[in-house]
Structure 1
Amino acid sequence: MKTDVEELTPTRVKLTVEVPFDELKPNLDKAYKEISQQVRIKGFRPGKVPAPLIDKYVGRGAVLQEAVNDALPELYGRAVEETEIFVLGQPDVEVTELDDGNQFAFTAEVDIRPKFEVPDYDGLEVVVDDAEVTDEQVEETVGNLRERFASLTTAERPVEEGDFATVDLVARIDGEEVEDASTSGYSYEVGSGSTIEGLDEALTGLSAGEEKTFTSTLAGGEHAGEEAEITVTVQSVKVKNLPDLDDEFAQLASEFDTLDELRGDVRTRLGRQVRLQQLSDARDKALEALLEKVDIPLPDKVVEEEVGRRNQQLDQQLQMAGLTRADYLKDEEKTEEEFEAEVADAARLAVKGGFVLDQLAVQEELGVENEELSEYVVSQAMQMGVQPQQLAEYLTQNNQLPAIVSEVLRSKALNLVVEHVTVKDESGNEIDVDAVQRELNGETGETVTVEEDAAETGDAAETAEAPAAEETSAQEAPAAAEAAAEEAPADKTDDEEKKDA
């Protein structure tokens, strides 16, 4: 087999492959066998029809086409391996010659990773925020915990801001009720502004049994973006009562006997979070610093696919929250053009980062052990709330393990960069990343990697009562792992249900 490579652009090549016809013999034999199983010719059992009769009744051309289709994937793979190019995506293949008994030739145009060398990264310096925990942060966290233990008591008075009102909501457009924007027995915190625009104003001053109608724009559902008449009826008015901030509260809300002990534990946990954030920032900024030293072309198609993936993820998240793209842009105070430009920039940066880390893994001859692969799958499964075995089976059945291997390799390559980078906080203190990592691991008795710091975003005080649920960044986790997690549907909260209104 002869293969020539023509560089169309720095990120796209054209392979011209010439194959001696003899190399197609196994594929031709297979094609005759399969067609023999399908045709029905009098006097011959299925699978026993001779090749000359297949040529006569089916046609030699059909056999050749079957053989070529069977041979192309392997021949293309051999051509890629022989030319030592790193292909991206699926090729555009064209059969250019099929001379029966003599020669077979085809071309394949495909995007490739640009050829480059990762420059020396010793001496890079990055700056991260100080690992400071303020008294205000401690008190805010304790206050959030206190809110969780608040009680509600019925108030025989009109609704005021901060009250919890149990209400019925009915939305109508042109006199017709909009079912997916109506509900009953909905508990709403007045003044939170978390549902329908104008609801806070309508409720204030109403007493139990009273109602009020106002006009608002529906945020979700079939009639999202349309104006509707909303009638709100108050069933009851309740006042939130916070427990006293004392030792008794500490015993109620945690494993500690005194409020001072609880505050101390909150400070420790917040300190852990900020140090994890330092490590995460160090990784991000180390990669940014390395990327600034590399100038490479990027395949347009690969960038476009990354842009599409990011937009699809955002749309799925907004749909689950009952919101629209317009709602999101309004909250972010961005125009559609500004948002599209940001997504395109982020996509280009992500693609470039992947290329650089892939090349670094090659240069440093990094590999992935089975134990590392298992640890990664377990970590992803825990963050997504699925069983490790379930995720492993999904990845295997859907041929996603190569993508996971690539993800682990990139993480190892980035770890290597961080090891060679000088990390300082804003106060000028140098941070020993390895020492901080060991310290954090020692506190928990288990290995915590800096990639997992996104899981530490909940209120620190919540862990005094029970382990906090971990979160996963959709952008960081492999799409295959996300698909596995989707098999376990989550329950809707009252707030999520009402965002349809």
Structure 2
Amino acid sequence: MTAKLEKLDGNKVKLEITVSGDQFEEGIQKAYQKLKGKFNIPGFRKGKAPRGIVENFYGPQVFYEDALDEIIPEAYRAAVEENKLDVVSRPEYDVLSIDKKDGVVLTAEVFVKPEVKLGKYEGLKVKKPVEKIAAKDVDAEVEKTREQNARWVEVDRAAKDGDTVIVDFLGSVDGVPFEGGEAKEQSLVLGEGRFIPGFEEQIVGMKAGEQRDINVKFPEGYTPELAGKDAVFAITMHTVKEKELPELDDDFAQDVSEFDTLAEYKKDIKKKMQERADMKAKAEMENQLLTAIADDIKADIPDVMIENQIDYQVQQMSYQLMYQGMKLEDYLQYIGMTMDDLRNEYREGSAQQVKMRLAVEALLDKLKIDPTEKDIEAKYEELAKAENKTVQEYKDMMGAQELDYFKDRVAMEQLFDYLVSKAEVQEVDAKAWEKEQAEKAKKESEKKETKKATAKKPAAKKETAKTAEKTAEKKPAAKKTAAKKETTKKA
């Protein structure tokens, strides 16, 4: 196999691949072995006719198409490796000539990863959102744990908001019970607003054993049979329970943690909360740095790379919906969105993701970051220690797939450590930063919605026509390739 490389426009290349007659012969023989069971030749049992007999009966080119399927993928892979190409799209094949003696000549057009010219990546200005964990933050976290470990105890008093009550109820409209309006020993937390307006409020004040009729009005947006109607619910109160929180003492700390005292428990909580806050701050800085670097690169990015990223985003969404028992097509129909709409929603973010990935790869190459085995093992030890596990236990917990990408993870950490060390860091209050980012995101969202709402239909049609024109421009080439393959098939 030999291959000649020709560079086309837009980071597209053409490989002219020549497969020898001997290689083509091997492909024909493989095709014969796969297909011989399908041929029924007079004088031979089905599948037992020699290859020469089959070729005489059906024509010498009978196995050519399947032979091409055998040899082309391997020849293409070898050509890509020989020319050290970083391919980002599927190849478009075109068979130029086929000869049993001279072999096969074909072309493969494919997009390759673009050359990236980095802009500024040192001395960048970034903001570090700093959060210092205070005693009140620790107390709030402890209080959450208290709530989770609370128990409900029965009390002999009138029910109030926050209590859990056990009730029977029977609802009726104009004296006639309606479907779904009856329940026995229904548990209800007063004040959560799980029932229609006015229901829970009128139960407040009832005691165990008390009966009461309450009047409510169904919301206009309720089911058609009940929307906007007045109803009466006959309530029977069985039980009133209040939440009892555990005492904040050393016994509580021992019950919910591995520590003997409440002071030790709180100290550990503060340490972990600070670690999480520091990690969040680091991630924020890394995102700022990578966004700035990606926006400053120069690269002729093929559309196919962005389309591939959109494909990935759509696939991930499809998987998430599948776990919830819903198909993507049904979900899109439910929210009134087409697949094109969804892909356009992902387009801007996907383009940014591609730029970031290209920037990272260019930086890793520029800075010659390549973690050693020692670096990798040191990281394993650090993470295993944080989980109170041995290195092997930690690796077993990670799984084979995560282990495969662990070197990349270490490389990324080394890269960002370098970038942060070279950046001009300004510390800001974390809460103020979060508020600023939330307002910024809100404005961006409103801007997009306004743009959609004010978009003129003619402009949309023009864009659609433009897109269709681009598609139409691509179709003749596809037909040409298909026509050549069909000609080959009939040869």
The alignment's TM-score, normalised by the length of structure 2, stands at 0.62
Match of 2:489 in 1: none
Distance 1:176 1:350, change over 3 A: farther
RMSD: 5.1
Aligned mates of 2:251, 2:425 — CA distance in 1: 39
Shift of residue 319 of structure 1? 7.0
Distance 1:62 1:6, change over 3 A: farther
Match of 1:71 in 2: 71
| 8 A Cα contact 1:159 1:165, kept in partner | yes
Identity %: 23
Show the 5 A alignment for 1:301-450. 301-314=304-317, 317=320, 343-363=346-366, 364=368, 366=370, 405=404, 408-409=407-408, 412-413=411-412, 415-422=414-421, 426-427=426-427
Aligned mates of 2:213, 2:161 — CA distance in 1: 17
Matched, 1:163 2:160: no
| 8 A Cα contact 2:289 2:419, kept in partner | no
Shift of residue 320 of structure 1? 5.6
| 8 A Cα contact 2:119 2:296, kept in partner | yes
Match of 2:287 among 279, 284, 288: 284
| 8 A Cα contact 1:5 1:83, kept in partner | no
Aligned mates of 2:309, 2:186 — CA distance in 1: 40
| 8 A Cα contact 2:10 2:302, kept in partner | no
- Kindly provide the CA deviation profile for residues 127-169 of structure 1, in whole angstroms up to 9, marking residues without a partner as x: 3122411222112111111112212123456654322345789
| 8 A Cα contact 1:95 1:106, kept in partner | yes
Q: Which runs of 5+ in 1 are unaligned?
A: 219-224, 329-335, 396-400, 430-501
Match of 1:240 in 2: 243
Letter aligned with residue 264 of structure 1 = K
| 8 A Cα contact 2:125 2:425, kept in partner | no
Distance 1:101 1:293, change over 3 A: same
Letter aligned with residue 141 of structure 2 = T
Distance 1:322 1:241, change over 3 A: farther
Show the 5 A alignment for 1:100-249. 100-118=100-118, 121-155=121-155, 160-165=160-165, 187-192=187-192, 198-199=195-196, 201-206=198-203, 215=218, 236-249=239-252
Aligned mates of 1:85, 1:247 — CA distance in 2: 64
Give 1 or 2 for the bigger CA radius of gyration. 2
Aligned to 2:276, the other structure's residue is in SS state helix
Q: Which runs of 5+ in 2 are unaligned?
A: 172-176, 332-338, 388-392, 430-491
Distance 1:51 1:408, change over 3 A: same
Matched, 1:3 2:4: yes
Distance 1:310 1:129, change over 3 A: same
Aligned to 1:133, the other structure's residue is in SS state coil
Aligned mates of 2:87, 2:134 — CA distance in 1: 51
Aligned to 1:128, the other structure's residue is in SS state strand
The alignment's TM-score, normalised by the length of structure 1, stands at 0.61
Aligned mates of 1:321, 1:338 — CA distance in 2: 22
Show the 5 A alignment for 1:37-56. 39=39, 41=41, 49-56=49-56
Shift of residue 349 of structure 1? 2.0
| 8 A Cα contact 2:371 2:410, kept in partner | no
